[in-house]
A and B are shown apart, each in its own frame.
Chain A
Amino acid sequence: MKVLLIEDEQELRRSIRAFLQDVGFLVESANDFPSAMEKAEQYAYDAVLVDITLPKGSGLDIVRMLRKQNPNTGIIIISAKGSLDDKILGLDLGADDYLPKPFHLPELVARLRALIRRKQFAGNQAIELDELRIVPDDKLVEVNGQRVDLTVMQFDLLLFLVANKDRVLSRTAIVEHVWGEMADRLDHDHFLYSHMKNLRKKLLEKGSKDRIQTVYGLGYRLSSHA
């Protein structure tokens, strides 16, 4: 899947690019308005990540242009937080999502995957991982064709883990994803632990492989080749 990353901060661009490539995206990047416009006009992308404040122009103009050109391209605005007007304007212009900085890279991956799924497969696509099958829009999880009953939170957790399979997810990233960005991780460590334990138990009970691993002191990882 091809992604265009438009971000002027070099170190952030490098991190995002490397992280996305590691999980299997093809990433092109641009660091200012003219080069971003050029790439966006010439090539088709599955998704575009665009910063609003760019050298020599506004990311909002890129959003406007992209939306006119190709309705199937997913657009996520990544911008410094607090530009509420930017958010509303950006979404009005046709951006699909808005991720305020600073964000966790796994969060970006999860949103990107969800967006592409929504755009290209109208949400009907199932995610499959050997014995595991997830249909996000139906909130359905199956192990070897057997339905697994999960709570909303457990489903959320699983989806987040699967979207970032084989990556280590920090507890902070998971807590922010599940409980919101203002949630205090220390308050939620305990809950995260028990939700994760229950999720793992339910999957194992239906005969799934032991995919959810605890990465000591850091967080969790869902392994695709357990």
Chain B
Amino acid sequence: MKLLQRTSRYQFVLAIPLVIVGTAIGYGLVNMVVTSQVDEQMEHQTSRVVQQLRAGERTFNTSAPDELIAVVPGSNGPLVVKDTTLIDVEENEVVPWRIMRSAVVLPDGTAYVITLGRSLVETEDLVLGIALSMTLLLALVALGNLLLNRWLSRKLWQPFHNTLDELQGFDADGPRIPRLPDTDVDEFTTLNRALKAMMTKLRADFTAQKRFTEQAAHELQTPLAVMQGKLDQLIQSPNMGEAEAGIIDGMFQARERMGRTVANMLLLARIGNQQFPPEHVDWLAIFNDQHHSLEDLIAQRGIRYSIRQDQPCGLRLHPLLAEVLVANLLRNAVQHNIPAGTATVVIGADGFMITNTGPGLSVAPAALFERFAKGDPASPSTGLGLSMVKEIADQNGLQLAYGYAAGIHTLVVRGE
């Protein structure tokens, strides 16, 4: 969920109880004020009636439809104020009333009970009206707040989103350095500067590491050549026994493996250095070439190999890299196959696809293209083949897609 959605959601959740409680409190307050107003009026009227009673008047009437007045002799109880409902005969509906009943004793000793009533129909409407407009107002304020916040965050967080966009395009190995300019928000400026420093360091480290790999691999080649030369000389010795031969053969194998690892490391380090500009290549010819050097292996395992070119493939790549790419993919398809399995290559205009039968992966598909990821740790492979494929693809704008289903591995190489 986006940050903005999240804050909006919280604000919304908070606004609902706020509006409800605010309305309730507002309603209660207005109601209280209006009721006390009515009570006060009735107290005034009561004192007026008492005066009139003292003056000798005995009949009290009111023509107002929302008022009641009744003065009867008697003396029951103290002052009572209460809400009640009466039935309006004309309209035939229940109407809320406020009733005040008080007792008074005149100087001549006669006692009267004065009952006054006020209809609350009008006041209730008023209170409701006020409460409703308050609700509306509150809701409007909440909504306005929400919108303001959205707009503000969008505006305020814009530099942050710019930073995010720039960061997504970052590649320690790529040609582009993200542009992270200072903003008018201090925190974002600090963030951008920290990120810039980090990325600069990352790039420098990466380049240094790559240069180191390259130099190390380069430096290793001369001692390897010396070793190879000595071994080639050593086996000419006429007095070689079986035991010695076995030892020397082990050294030959180790030397061979080391040489291949070093060569792969060197190539890996160099792929990103723009030393291999892409050009048009004849993919079918490259596949046929590589197939040729695998023919024995394919025949031995009884693998049925087929290649089909629907259309010449337009992917551009340096011929040397294309050769490495195809060699690794084909060798993989043959080596990780099953006896009497199949390996099929289909070449199309915008890429090619290699499918082969084979057992499921013993490593996670995501780790397939990692360096030194070997299904079998004891295998003599360098574990660099597929990482080289990936490096070549990454550096030349090719896309790799791998899938495994029903005992078939599928690898697709396509332009971006």
Contact = CB atoms under 8 A, between A and B. Distances in A.
B221 A102 contact: yes
B226 interface: yes
B337 to A, nearest CB: 13
Contacts of A216: 242, 245
A191 B297 contact: yes
B236 A167 contact: yes
Contact of B245 (A22, A181, A217): A217
Contact of A84 (B214, B218, B231, B320): B320
B217 interface: yes
B240 A218 contact: yes
Contacts of A38: none
Interface in A1-46: 9, 11-12, 15-16, 18-19, 22
B381 A184 contact: yes
A104 B230 CA distance: 10
B109 interface: no
Contacts of B253: 172, 185-186
B275 A84 contact: yes
Given A12-B225, A80-B218, A19 B233 contact: yes
A208 interface: no
Interface residues of A, number: 44
Contacts of A82: 214, 217-218, 221, 263, 266-267, 270
Contacts of B16: none
B232 interface: yes
A101 B236 CA distance: 21
B229 A16 contact: yes
A15 B263 contact: no
A187 interface: yes
A186 B380 contact: yes
Given A22-B236, A187-B297, A218-B240, A9 B222 contact: yes
A206 interface: no
A201 to B, nearest CB: 17
Interface of B: 214, 217-218, 221-222, 224-233, 235-236, 240, 242, 245-246, 248-249, 252-253, 255-256, 259-260, 263, 266-267, 270, 275-276, 293, 296-297, 300, 320, 327, 335, 380-381
Given A9-B226, A105-B229, A106-B232, 19 more contacts: A11-B229, A82-B214, A82-B267, A84-B270, A84-B276, A101-B225, A102-B221, A102-B224, A102-B228, A102-B255, A168-B235, A170-B252, A171-B249, A172-B255, A182-B260, A215-B235, A217-B246, A218-B248, A218-B249
